[in-house]
Amino acid sequence: MFVTARLGDEEERKIALKLNADNSVAPILCELRRYSILRASGHTFEYLGFGPGNYSTAFPSTQVEVLTPQQVRLSQSLKEAAGVAYYSGVNSDGELFVGNQVINPVTGQITNEDIAQLNVVGEENTTIQTFSEVVLTDKLTVIGGASNQLESVFSGPVTFQKRITNTENVQVAKLTYANDDGTVLRQTFLAEDDGSGQPDIDNTQAFNDGDLIYNIDWQAGDSLGWIYEAGTWYKFGMTDTGPITARRFSGVTNYGIGMAPDASNRLKISGNTYIDGNLDVTGIYGAADKYRLATGIANGNNGVTYNGNGSTTSFAISAGHTAYSVLVFLNGVAQIPGVDYNVNGNAVDFSISTAPSTNDVIQIRELVI
């Protein structure tokens, strides 16, 4: 029989045959099975982290510094080649390192030492664990590293079925609100003004009625943003409303601009008011005490009066009037503008007809202009 060693040369060996009593050859019994394989469940690295890996240089007596806990943690090794080799074991203090856990040999206390996973030698915070699903029955706490600044990333949808409590800022690119069954969605996000009063957005996106866009270019007095309805973005949220106040009186809300509202007026405005267009009044229009009086003999709300002398044809009024913005009475009889009088400059002029006679009374009342 020829036998070849795994790492040696071919060799010829003679195997004696067993003979039976009658000189016949007896069978040779052979065990046909897999050999046992011895696997070590752990290693003891007595001076882990010191030197290039041999005892002659790794003894503590040859060291000039003491390893920090972080250096001890980094001494755990991960090797990825044809396979993955992990090393767990006991350090020189008897602490057992298993995965991300450190077990104290005296108390048995298990700690994680702020590491969430094994690390590649010389590299910090290298994730090596991948899970298809994780179920926690109690709670999850993410420290975020020693500085609390390491970011946790969720690349897919995340569902929170209960309340979310946050003690600092929440930063998102877009918020989407949904009702209980998810059939009604509302989006909220940011956009600039495109210069025409509309949001600068990608019009190929799909929007729902009620979606909100906040204006990044907002300034005091501008609208907060836009609300979407039937294909159109409408401005919403008037700002800088300090001069505007509202009060309820007997269930009715009255307003004031520049002044406080009261129970008698639906709207009160303090200051000049400009209206570009028609003003329709269905109630009573009154300006009883707001006539602008001409210069001359003032007579309260009755305008001004002059006395004729048979020759004077011009009687002073305030600036800015026409023949149709003043009411002129001669001895109590209304005069016709353009027929009995005109307005020239700052005066009512009777020169187109007859000058008022002596003792005639001319009354002029200026209308509001």
Residue-by-residue DSSP string for 19-57: B-TTSPBPPPP---SPPP----S-EE-TTTTSTTS-HHH
- Alpha-carbon distance of 280 to 235, in angstroms, equals 27
Residue type, 240: D
* Whole-number pLDDT of residue 123: 47
Fill in the DSSP letter of residue 181. Answer: T
pTM: 0.41
* Whole-number pLDDT of residue 8: 60
DSSP E strands in 179-231: the ranges are 185-191, 212-215, 223-229
Residues of the chain with pLDDT under 70: 1-17, 31-63, 70-88, 92, 99-100, 112-131, 284-302
Q: Which helix (H) or strand (E) holds 74?
A: helix 69-74
Asked whether the beta carbons of 329 and 356 are under 8 A apart, the reply is no
- Alpha-carbon distance of 301 to 287, in angstroms, equals 10
Q: Which helix (H) or strand (E) holds 178?
A: strand 174-178
Q: Exposed, middle or buried by CB within 10 Å (0-12, 13-18, 19+), for 173?
A: exposed
* Whole-number pLDDT of residue 42: 53
Residue 124, C-beta contacts closer than 8 angstroms, at least 6 positions apart: 74
- Smallest CA-to-CA distance from 365 within 276, 311, 313, 287 is with 287
Asked whether the beta carbons of 133 and 145 are under 8 A apart, the reply is no
Query: How far apart, in Å, do the first and last CA atoms of the chain sit?
Result: 132
* Whole-number pLDDT of residue 13: 67
DSSP E strands in 207-355: the ranges are 212-215, 223-229, 232-238, 244-249, 252-257, 267-269, 297-298, 304-307, 314-316, 326-330, 333-334, 342-344, 347-349
- Alpha-carbon distance of 151 to 139, in angstroms, equals 19
Asked whether the beta carbons of 320 and 367 are under 8 A apart, the reply is no
* Whole-number pLDDT of residue 317: 87
- Smallest CA-to-CA distance from 311 within 281, 341, 356 is with 356
